[in-house]
């Protein structure tokens, strides 16, 4: 593993690291914020999965999350959103290929060679992190934005007991019913082959539930709201009588100005679950 940068940040350290990924068969880069408390021993960790077109860097520099993580003594992981490189397949659409991994393990050509973001996030990167840094594997929480909200929700529900809490900013909630996400997932997994319970937060919630606190924020003026389908997740939550906080935030759009506004709430929400 190679250290690309390390900067003092809110009393702790914001690092960027690169490692050879077995899952993605290419080098992968991630950001990791460690609060000051990590100098004395393992700290809880909050995963943040990013959205379409993002790298490990967007949330790391624009979400304002480190100040709140430092306040609560929590580490933050900012993974990339896809495999990358000249040898990695890509597509002219921004919602397919590099920057658009959708947190699935591709089975279809040309994507199957590298696009295994589910395994990368759920299996490989945890080993890298818990072997390499002062992080407490027993205290994990997960969040994400847009495509990353989809990833956070689906992965949290697929691994019962791993994450103390889950949250999402403007998540893709119901990709089986939304072209924006269904088309790329069909490209990765093959139309007709998709295990939608695994890869659709609404279906997974109805089938598997989630045993922990859940917080969703959605801007009412989000330019992608019709594709995100907040109404589908609200229906899944309320019809199954599932505990959750669902907030429709008036006037906010899909940007990091929205994410950063409510980041304090999300980190405090996860801190409460992680320190219970």
- Chain residues in the site for a second copy (CB under 8 A): 213, 218, 220-221, 225, 230-231, 234-235, 237-239, 241-251
- Check: CB of residue 52 under 8 Å from CB of residue 148: no
Question: Taking the complex as a whole, how short is the minimal distance between the CB of residue 222 and a second copy, in angstroms?
Answer: 8
Measure the CA–CA gap between 203 and 176, rounded to whole angstroms.
9
Measure the CA–CA gap between 186 and 29, rounded to whole angstroms.
26
Question: Taking the complex as a whole, how short is the minimal distance between the CB of residue 267 and a second copy, in angstroms?
Answer: 18
- Check: CB of residue 35 under 8 Å from CB of residue 13: no
CA atoms within 13 A on the CB side of 83: 29
Who contacts 179 (Cβ-Cβ below 8 Å, separation ≥6)? 227
* Residue with smaller CB distance to a second copy, 38 or 166: 166
* Residue with smaller CB distance to a second copy, 151 or 212: 212
Question: Taking the complex as a whole, how short is the minimal distance between the CB of residue 151 and a second copy, in angstroms?
Answer: 21
Q: Among this protein's residues, is 254 annotated catalytic?
A: yes
Query: How many residues belong to the chain?
Result: 276
Q: Among this protein's residues, is 266 annotated catalytic?
A: no
Who contacts 139 (Cβ-Cβ below 8 Å, separation ≥6)? 43, 44, 45, 164, 274
Task: Tell me which of 21, 56, 222, 270 is the catalytic residue.
Answer: 222
Q: Among this protein's residues, is 222 annotated catalytic?
A: yes
* Residue with smaller CB distance to a second copy, 66 or 143: 143
* Residue with smaller CB distance to a second copy, 75 or 244: 244
- Check: CB of residue 24 under 8 Å from CB of residue 117: yes
Task: Tell me which of 21, 82, 143, 146 is the catalytic residue.
Answer: 146
Question: Taking the complex as a whole, how short is the minimal distance between the CB of residue 247 and a second copy, in angstroms?
Answer: 5
Task: State the catalytic residues.
Answer: 146, 222, 254
């Amino acid at each position: 593993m190679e250290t690309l940068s390390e900067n003092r940040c809110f009393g702790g350290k914001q690092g960027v690291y690169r490692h050879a990924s077995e899952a993605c068969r290419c080098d992968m880069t991630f950001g990791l914020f460690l609060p000051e408390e990590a100098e004395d021993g393992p700290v809880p960790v909050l995963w943040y999965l990013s959205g379409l077109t993002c790298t490990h860097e967007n949330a790391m520099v624009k979400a304002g999350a480190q100040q709140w993580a430092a306040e609560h003594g929590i580490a933050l992981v900012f993974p990339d959103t896809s495999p990358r490189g000249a040898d990695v397949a890509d597509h002219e659409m921004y919602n397919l290929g590099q920057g658009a991994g959708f947190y699935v393990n591709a089975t279809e050509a040309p994507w199957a060679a590298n696009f295994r973001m589910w395994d990368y996030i759920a299996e490989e990167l945890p080993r890298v992190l818990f072997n390499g840094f002062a992080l407490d594997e027993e205290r994990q929480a997960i969040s994400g934005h847009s495509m990353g909200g989809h990833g956070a929700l689906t992965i949290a529900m697929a691994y019962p007991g791993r994450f103390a809490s889950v949250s999402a900013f403007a998540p893709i909630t119901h990709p089986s019913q939304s072209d924006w996400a269904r088309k790329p997932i069909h490209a990765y997994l093959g139309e007709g082959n998709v295990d939608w319970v695994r890869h659709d937060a609404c279906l997974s919630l109805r089938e598997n539930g989630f045993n922990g606190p859940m917080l969703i924020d959605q801007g009412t003026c989000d330019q992608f709201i019709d594709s995100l389908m907040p109404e589908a997740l609200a229906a899944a939550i309320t019809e199954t009588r599932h505990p959750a906080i669902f907030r429709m935030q008036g006037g906010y759009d899909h940007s990091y100005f929205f994410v950063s506004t409510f980041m304090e709430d999300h980190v405090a929400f996860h801190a409460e679950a992680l320190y219970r």
